[in-house]
Structure 1
């Protein structure tokens, strides 16, 4: 029963009626802790990730649940045609809780990136000359030693990543530290930090948390106010315009975790912000004239999560 409870499968919907057809994967092929996926039909492959057992994550994060094996650390390789699981790549402790996974947009490419929440790492996955798949760590956001927080060490908690349509920039959000980062991935194995912007988070300089040691030697950021409103919570889900110039962000992760780490956001609601992107040299700048306040919804306050462009965006468009 334990294995069945922890298994995560994919539900297949009819493309016209949206009625449930059944499971996508073959019987017995479900992977543990099923979460995100991305496919590349040209190469007959789909990659999927792991989060955790619903009974563990539903009411907040308990580090002991990691030690108890209730959170994942693998990405899975699937045959797109037969729906058979071909490989499971264990990213180890450094790759614990791999969430969002992205192939490069170039349909000829056989590589991409996955953001791993617990240790603040990004892994590059790729097809080897032998035809199988492998992964390597290419980015690490170090944890900070703190006081006045739940634990003595605060991870960045990478929760969302995306890749610009031209495959030049990788973006991700550090939901606990409170920043969004932009990396130039022209060199696929050696990403270079090109932009960074704090928009809330848990280490604000007027809050209860004091940073004692920071391997990156960054000062604690001030609170951010847009259109007269102090931003509650922290950058979480991201979406990028097709031209790569406008990055949108919301602040809610999951209600159980929102309540635990950002209780003020439960009372005020989340927000959506817009960030102007320097696509020539890299760099991020907040648009001071744009703010969607979901605390003012008629039945709010609401916790906004996913973002989508009606005509396609950088996490929905896949080419053959």
Structure 2
């Protein structure tokens, strides 16, 4: 424990934007066939360094078959909440769940180039204490570490709905389930909150049989994947409202609330509309009467394609859907970044008016049909996927793998892991950095990124910007 708050904790988003630039990034490495253990890569992102754009340290796990996916910090700016009692924690540990094994690793990165395993929580403990499985998203909250799950109990993860559980942020002991009253919530994916306004929002993907062995076309065309978002009273741990985005809006995934807690809106990405193959972004906001509403504010069209160029899954459609698989919001709440994993696009929207987004930048790289190479001439396998934005909003990083079995369905054959970066203009615009290209070891794919000192999908703030 520190004697004063960690200097990487910031009371407001504006203060976080003024912090020193990141020099290191932490990126997950996935062995899709489980022939090697998954791992954590430490990447040099300091342009003044001789090892810029290279992996400078790797930590491999002692087990195989974990399927690393999302991960997060033990503590962040939310620790400055006046209700927390945890203001003197360090941003020191990365909590890394195995989505397939239900095993959780606590990684000590106080010395990033000597990152080491601090603790391993075995799946049996996760099951026994929560009844949940397939841990997915990690968020550091004021009173502990929140972990969302994609599965309930039983070997198929279908014995009861998935949910959220809480870990102690110092001992890393699993404390128990979050939910007191889950209402209509039956599936799970992402979640985030507005701490001073005391509410949480969560989204839905599907149950384990719907994603572990790949996309199930029959379930998709029958609109059986998630299409709702749920609002919770955060302290009471009670679902207070559920909004259905429409059954055709399949797979409501990433939740991105405004960073400034004085603002009462946010965004959720929808992978595909089954009526027209569009991708979509919905803006949700609280109305004057206290109820929430969600409005579709961005629709991204599919691109026509020769069926001969398409994977088996898409041949009958004669088009490539955008497949909106990740979104991220800059700390000033001005620019929303949208990963179109299918068409191979990273899009930038000005969301200064959250109800009227404006497209301000696009980068094409990868893609099911286009297969656009990086400016350095190297092939970028798959498409833009997990996106992370620097605190100052000037650098946008992304990787290319979605989920092992889905990668294989939409992009047959191993395409290799990669991480790239684009420069973002102060008033919009996006340009790929020609000198930044991270190649991962053979047999590994890359997924989520965390930036040293925090980033735009890590921290939640307790005080409004001035």
> What range is the shorter-chain TM-score in?
0.7 to 0.9
Residue 220 of structure 2 aligns to a residue whose secondary structure is: helix
Question: In the alignment, is residue 38 of structure 1 matched against residue 192 of structure 2?
Answer: yes
Do the aligned partners of 1:6 and 1:53 also contact (CA within 8 Å) in 2?
Answer: no
Deviation at 1:40, TM superposition (A): 0.7
Residue number in structure 2 paired with 1:133: 292
Deviation at residue 254 of structure 1 after TM alignment:
0.4
Distance 1:37 1:178, change over 3 A: same
Query: Aligned to 1:25, what secondary structure does the other structure show?
Result: coil
Maintained 8 Å contact 1:8/1:35: no
Q: Deviations over 1:179-210 (max 9, x none)?
A: 00000111221100000111110121xxxxxx
Listed as ranges, the gaps of 5+ residues in structure 2 are 1-153, 274-278
Distance of 2:323 and 2:162 partners within structure 1:
22
- Which sections of structure 1, spanning at least 5 residues, go unmatched? 205-221
Give the TM-score normalised by structure 1: 0.87
The aligned residue for residue 306 of structure 2 is: 147
- 2:465 counterpart of 1:319: no
Matched, 1:193 2:352: no
Instruction: Check conservation: 1:226, 1:291, Cα contact below 8 A.
Output: no
Listed as ranges, the matches of 1:14-29 within 5 Å are: 14-26=168-180, 29=183
List per-residue Cα deviations over 1:277-306 (Å, max 9, x = no partner). 1122x1111111111111xx2xx4211111
- Structure 1 residue corresponding to 2:280, chosen from 109, 114, 121: 121
Q: CA deviation at 1:58?
A: 1.3
Closer/same/farther in 2, CA of residues 224 and 67 from structure 1, 3 Å limit? closer
Structure number with bigger Rg:
2
- Encode CA deviations 1:119-174: one digit per residue, 9 max, x unaligned: 20000001111101110000000123333222314321101001111111111100
* TM alignment of 1:3-14, pairs within 5 A: 5=159, 7-14=161-168
Q: Which 10-residue stretch deviates more, 3-12 or 129-138?
A: 3-12
Partner residue of 2:379? 230
- Equivalent pair of 1:12/1:21 in contact (CA under 8 Å): yes
Segment of structure 1 superposing worse, 144-153 or 10-19: 144-153
Distance 2:446 2:391 in 1: 22
What is the root-mean-square deviation in Å for CA atoms of aligned residues?
A: 2.0
Q: Distance in 2 between matches of 1:312 and 1:144?
A: 36
Q: Tell me, in whole angstroms, the C-alpha distance in 2 between the residues paired with 1:310 and 1:275.
A: 18
Matches within 5 A, 1:234-249: 234-249=383-398
Whole-angstrom distance in 2 between the partners of 1:155 and 1:6: 32
Please tell me whether residue 262 in structure 1 is matched to residue 416 in structure 2: no
CA contact (8 A) 1:6 1:33 kept: no
Deviates more, 1:147-156 or 1:78-87: 147-156
**2:401 corresponds to 1:252:** yes
Matched-pair contact (CA < 8 Å) for 1:32–1:72: no
Residue from 202, 205, 213 that aligns with 1:59: 213
Q: Structure 1 residues 178 and 108 mapped into 2: Cα distance closer, same or farther (>3 Å)? A: same
Which runs of structure 2 are paired with 1:32-111 in the superposition (5 Å)? 32-68=186-222, 70-111=224-265
For residue 272 of structure 1, what is the aligned residue in structure 2? 419
Structure 1 residues 42 and 229 mapped into 2: Cα distance closer, same or farther (>3 Å)?
same
| Residue equivalent to 2:449 | 307
User: Partners of 2:270 and 2:160 in 1: how far apart?
Assistant: 19
The answer to which of 61-70 and 182-191 deviates more is 61-70
| 1:27 Cα deviation after fit | 5.9
How many Å separate the matches in 2 of 1:189 and 1:27?
A: 31
Task: Say whether residues 1:164 and 2:358 are aligned partners.
Answer: no
Deviation at 1:28, TM superposition (A): 5.6
